[in-house]
Structure 1
Amino acid sequence: MKAIRRFIVRTHLPEEISGLSRLAANLRWSWHPQTQALFRDLDPAAWEELGHDPVALLGSFDRQRLTELAADSQLVQRVQEATADLDRYVSEDRWYQNEFSAGQAPSSIAYFSPEFGITAVLPQYSGGLGILAGDHLKSASDLGVPIIGVGLLYQAGYFKQSLSRDAWQQETYPVLDPDNLPLTLLKESDGTPVQISLPIPGGRTLHAQVWRADVGRVPLLLLDSDVPANDDTARTITDRLYGGGGDHRLQQELLLGMGGVKALRQYARLQGIEAPEVYHTNEGHAGFQGIERIQELMEQGLNWEEALTSVRASTVFTTHTPVPAGIDRFDRSLVEQFFQAGLAPAVPVENVLALGAEDYDGGDRGVHNMAVMGLRLGQRANGVAQLHGVVSREMFQGLWPGFDAAEVPITSITNGVHAPTWVSETVSETAMTMFGAAAVAGHDWDKVWEVPDQELWNVRRELRRTLIQDVRARLKSSWRKRGASEAELAWTDSVLDENVLTIGFARRVPTYKRLTLMLRDPERLKRLLLDPERPIQLVVAGKSHPADEQGKRMIQEMVRFTDDPEVRHRIVFLPNYDIRMASTLMPGVDVWLNNPLRPLEACGTSGMKVAMNGGLNLSVLDGWWDEMYDGENGWAIPTASSAASTEERDDLEAAALYDLLENELTPRFYGAEAPAAAGAAGPSTVSAGHDDGLPLQWIEMIKHTIATLGPQVSADRMVQDYVNILYRPAADAGRIADADGYANARALAAWKTAVREQFPGVVVEHVDSLGVSDAPQIGDELEVSAYVRLGGLTPQDVLVQAVYGKVSAGEDASVSEDELTETGQLTLVPSEDLGDGRYRFSGTLLIDRSGSFGYTVRVLPQHSLLASPAEMALVVNAG
Structure 2
Amino acid sequence: AELCDQGLDFDAGLEAVRAGTVFTTHTPVPAGIDRFDRELVARHFGPDAELPRMDVGRILALGMETYPGGEPNLFNMAVMGLRLAQRANGVSLLHGQVSREMFSGLWPGFDPEEVPITSVTNGVHAPTWVAPEVFRLGARQIGAQRTEDALTVGGSDRWDAVGDIPDQDVWELRRSLREQLVVEVRDRLRASWRQRGAGTAELGWIDGVLDPDVLTIGFARRVPSYKRLTLMLRDRDRLMDLLLHPERPIQIVVAGKAHPADDGGKRLVQELVRFADDPRVRHRIVFLPDYGMAMAQKLYPGCDIWLNNPLRPLEACGTSGMKAALNGCLNLSVLDGWWDEWFQPDFGWSIPTADGVGTDPDRRDDIEADALYELLEQRVTPRFYEQGQGGLPDRWIEMVRQTLTLLGPKVLAGRMVREYVERLYAPAAHAHRTMAPDVARELAEWKSRVRAQWHGVTVDHVETTAATTTAELGTTLGLRVHVGLGALGPDDVEIQAVSGRVDEEGRIADAATVPLKSVGGPDADGRWVYEGPLSLD
Question: For the superposition of Structure 1 and Structure 2, which TM-score range results when normalised by the shorter chain?
Answer: over 0.9
Aligned-residue sequence identity (percent) comes to 58
CA deviation vs aligned residue, 1:238-263 (integer Å, no higher than 9, x gap): xxxxxxxxxxxxxxxxxxxxxxxxxx
Instruction: Say which of 125, 142, 153 aligns to 1:435.
Output: 142
What is the distance in 2 between the residues matched to 1:823 and 1:505? 43
Does structure 1 residue 384 correspond to structure 2 residue 91? yes
What is the distance in 1 between the residues matched to 2:281 and 2:510? 56
Query: Where does residue 22 of structure 1 map in the other structure?
Result: none
What is the distance in 2 between the residues matched to 1:845 and 1:665? 49
Residues 68-467 of structure 1 aligned to structure 2 (within 5 Å): 295-340=1-46, 341-443=48-150, 444-467=158-181
TM-score where L is the length of structure 2: 0.96
Does structure 1 residue 844 correspond to structure 2 residue 527? no
Does structure 1 residue 652 correspond to structure 2 residue 358? no
The structure showing larger relative contact order (alpha-carbon pairs under 8 Å, at least 6 residues apart) is: 2
What is the distance in 2 between the residues matched to 1:765 and 1:469? 76
What is the distance in 1 between the residues matched to 2:170 and 2:213? 15
Letter in 2 for 1:477: A
Shift of 1:612: 0.7
Shift of 1:836: 5.8
- Note the residue ranges of structure 2 that are not aligned, 5 or more in a row: 151-157
Q: Is the 8 A contact 2:228 2:311 kept in 1?
A: yes
Q: Is the 8 A contact 2:113 2:510 kept in 1?
A: no
Query: Where does residue 759 of structure 1 map in the other structure?
Result: 454
Task: Report the secondary structure of 2:477's partner residue.
Answer: strand
Shift of 1:690: 4.9
Query: Where does residue 154 of structure 2 map in the other structure?
Result: none
What is the distance in 2 between the residues matched to 1:656 and 1:846? 42
Query: Where does residue 747 of structure 1 map in the other structure?
Result: 442
Letter in 1 for 2:522: D
Residues 620-699 of structure 1 aligned to structure 2 (within 5 Å): 620-642=334-356, 643-671=358-386, 690-699=388-397
Shift of 1:783: 2.2
Task: Report the secondary structure of 1:711's partner residue.
Answer: coil
Letter in 1 for 2:477: L
Letter in 2 for 1:737: M
Greater shift, 837-846 or 648-657, is seen at: 837-846
1:655–1:772 distance in 2 versus 1, CA, 3 Å: farther
What is the distance in 2 between the residues matched to 1:663 and 1:349? 62
Query: Where does residue 734 of structure 1 map in the other structure?
Result: 432
CA deviation vs aligned residue, 1:605-659 (integer Å, no higher than 9, x gap): 0000111110000000100000111111111011114310110011011111111
Letter in 1 for 2:15: T
1:599–1:609 distance in 2 versus 1, CA, 3 Å: same
CA deviation vs aligned residue, 1:527-585 (integer Å, no higher than 9, x gap): 11111111000000111111111110000000011111111111100011111111110
Task: Report the secondary structure of 1:693's partner residue.
Answer: coil
What is the distance in 2 between the residues matched to 1:519 and 1:726? 43
Shift of 1:776: 4.7
Q: Is the 8 A contact 1:771 1:781 kept in 2?
A: no
Shift of 1:693: 1.1
Does structure 1 residue 800 correspond to structure 2 residue 498? no
Letter in 2 for 1:423: V
What is the distance in 1 between the residues matched to 2:474 and 2:207? 73
Letter in 2 for 1:503: I
Task: Report the secondary structure of 1:576's partner residue.
Answer: coil
1:779–1:499 distance in 2 versus 1, CA, 3 Å: closer
Does structure 1 residue 771 correspond to structure 2 residue 466? yes
Shift of 1:333: 2.2
Does structure 1 residue 722 correspond to structure 2 residue 420? yes
Shift of 1:763: 1.2
Q: Pairwise CA RMSD of aligned residues?
A: 1.5
Query: Where does residue 296 of structure 2 map in the other structure?
Result: 582
- Note the residue ranges of structure 1 that are not aligned, 5 or more in a row: 1-294, 672-688, 850-879
Query: Where does residue 823 of structure 1 map in the other structure?
Result: 513
Task: Report the secondary structure of 1:613's partner residue.
Answer: coil
Instruction: Say which of 579, 587, 592 aligns to 2:306.
Output: 592
CA deviation vs aligned residue, 1:249-294 (integer Å, no higher than 9, x gap): xxxxxxxxxxxxxxxxxxxxxxxxxxxxxxxxxxxxxxxxxxxxxx
Shift of 1:780: 3.9
Instruction: Say which of 397, 411, 431 aligns to 1:713.
Output: 411
Q: Is the 8 A contact 1:772 1:780 kept in 2?
A: no
Shift of 1:843: 1.6
TM-score where L is the length of structure 1: 0.59
Task: Report the secondary structure of 1:364's partner residue.
Answer: coil
What is the distance in 2 between the residues matched to 1:525 and 1:465? 23
What is the distance in 2 between the residues matched to 1:345 and 1:712? 48
Task: Report the secondary structure of 2:43's partner residue.
Answer: helix
What is the distance in 1 between the residues matched to 2:51 and 2:347? 52
Shift of 1:474: 0.7
Task: Report the secondary structure of 1:432's partner residue.
Answer: helix
Shift of 1:807: 3.3
Shift of 1:773: 2.6
What is the distance in 2 between the residues matched to 1:820 and 1:695? 44
Letter in 2 for 1:331: D
Task: Report the secondary structure of 2:188's partner residue.
Answer: helix
Query: Where does residue 250 of structure 2 map in the other structure?
Result: 536
Query: Where does residue 175 of structure 1 map in the other structure?
Result: none
Query: Where does residue 557 of structure 1 map in the other structure?
Result: 271
Letter in 1 for 2:377: E
CA deviation vs aligned residue, 1:47-86 (integer Å, no higher than 9, x gap): xxxxxxxxxxxxxxxxxxxxxxxxxxxxxxxxxxxxxxxx
Q: Is the 8 A contact 1:504 1:592 kept in 2?
A: yes
Q: Is the 8 A contact 1:792 1:837 kept in 2?
A: no
Task: Report the secondary structure of 1:815's partner residue.
Answer: coil
Query: Where does residue 496 of structure 1 map in the other structure?
Result: 210
1:776–1:365 distance in 2 versus 1, CA, 3 Å: closer
CA deviation vs aligned residue, 1:493-513 (integer Å, no higher than 9, x gap): 221000000000011101010
Q: Is the 8 A contact 1:670 1:690 kept in 2?
A: no
Shift of 1:814: 4.2
Q: Is the 8 A contact 2:329 2:400 kept in 1?
A: yes
What is the distance in 1 between the residues matched to 2:45 and 2:198? 53
Letter in 2 for 1:664: R
Letter in 1 for 2:383: R
Q: Is the 8 A contact 1:790 1:838 kept in 2?
A: yes
CA deviation vs aligned residue, 1:75-107 (integer Å, no higher than 9, x gap): xxxxxxxxxxxxxxxxxxxxxxxxxxxxxxxxx
What is the distance in 2 between the residues matched to 1:772 and 1:667? 64
What is the distance in 2 between the residues matched to 1:492 and 1:591? 23
Query: Where does residue 401 of structure 2 map in the other structure?
Result: 703
1:714–1:824 distance in 2 versus 1, CA, 3 Å: same
Q: Is the 8 A contact 1:423 1:613 kept in 2?
A: yes
Q: Is the 8 A contact 2:258 2:266 kept in 1?
A: yes
Shift of 1:805: 2.7
1:592–1:820 distance in 2 versus 1, CA, 3 Å: closer
Shift of 1:345: 2.4
